[in-house]
Amino acid sequence: MKIGVIGGSGYAGGELLRLLAGHPKFEVCCVSAHTNAGELITSVHPHLSNYATRKFSEFKASDFDCCELVFLALPHGESAKVVAQLRAAVKIVDLGADFRLESAAKWAQYYGGDHAGTWTYGAPELPGAREQIKTSSRVANPGCYATAIALGTAPAAAIADLSDVVVVAASGTTGAGRSAKINLIASEVMGSLTAYKFGGVHQHTPEIEESLQRATGSKALISFTPVLAPMPRGILATITMKLKAGVKEEEVRKVYEEAYLSEPFVTLFPKGNMPKTSAVTGSNMVAMQIAVDGHTNRLIISVAIDNLVKGAAGQAIQNANLICGFDETLGLMQLGLGV
């Protein structure tokens, strides 16, 4: 199947190209990049030797007429402009935020500008989502933090209070994109941790709340503090919420085991093992652990993902596999590096 990547020069775009190079069903025929148009792909992504002789093109909609499927890896607010120029029949997975939210008011509050609309939300492991994705041709890929937090929280809907979910999650610097920013240079980041978008203003908050309400039928309220960690990639999310009266840790573990037993990309660790970001680096895997704080009767969930794979490019390919009728694991069964 001939496919295209629009926005191939960023971190997520580069990760898409890396994973697609080993995909048995997809052939990358067009890769565009705005500011890097005309440059060799390997001048931006030197590790992508499979693309050694190929160049980024300037975006021209007609170049993608040969594609049955297109990935958009553009800055937030840019996808809608591009979609309007593509063929109506082409399947699209958008890694940006443009089509994730249902609420136009929340879009205006957290992103600003006009709301482009709502596509099928591409989180296959959430209840009811997989079948919707399979029948869709336009899918909004979830945000990286939203992926980790929603997957960690959703199974608890029947045993905990989703109206008071507290999350602290640390992410590597690639989560902020490739644009040069003083606060992301090595001298500022190395050896230091800092919270940012402090006070509940992170743009993934409404996305998490909407996705949980769709998946569980319960209204969710998230207090989310993101933390910038001195590493290139990875997310470690710690999620807590009040358990319903009388719920024991054994019951919680059974609920999570049943929720993810047949999911190829989610592993609930045995008691005593803890998720770490290095264990999932380079993979589409989700590492998870649960515990009950008996002192406060709060459920605690620890979740680790690679923000560029399960949090972006890998999940996008997982969604593309589903909308194209392929096994969703195609091209995505790489294990994490571990160190």
pLDDT given at position 179: 74
pLDDT tier for residue 185 given thresholds of 50, 70 and 90: confident
Is position 144 annotated as part of the catalytic site? yes
First to last CA, the chain: 35
pLDDT given at position 28: 97
Catalytic position from the list 29, 30, 67, 144: 144
Q: Which two tokens stand for residue 96?
A: 């940006």
150-176: b or e for each residue (b if 16 or more CB lie within 10 Å)? Answer: bbbbbbbbebbbbeebbbebbbbbbbe
197 Ramachandran zone, left/alpha/beta (phi>0; psi -120 to 50): left
Instruction: Look at residue 17 and give its three-state secondary structure.
Output: helix
Structural domains in the chain, CATH included, are 2-142+310-323 (3.40.50.720), 145-306 (3.30.360.10)
pLDDT given at position 286: 98
pLDDT tier for residue 188 given thresholds of 50, 70 and 90: confident
pLDDT tier for residue 287 given thresholds of 50, 70 and 90: very high
Q: Given a cut of 80, is residue 177 above it in pLDDT? A: no
Q: Given a cut of 90, is residue 181 above it in pLDDT? A: no
Mutual angle of helices 144-153 and 204-216, in 10-degree steps: 30
The pTM assigned to this predicted structure is 0.95
One-letter amino acid identity for 167?
A: V
Q: What angle do CA 202, 210, 220 make, to 5 degrees?
A: 85
Nearest to 213 by CA among 134, 337, 72, 102: 102
d(CA 154, CA 17): 31
d(CA 140, CA 121): 5
Phi–psi pair at 117, nearest 5 degrees? 130, -175
Tell me whether residue 122 is exposed, middle or buried, using C-beta atoms within 10 angstroms of its C-beta: 0 to 12, 13 to 18, 19 or more.
Answer: buried
Q: Given a cut of 80, is residue 232 above it in pLDDT? A: yes
Kindly state the percentage of the chain with pLDDT values over 90.
Answer: 91
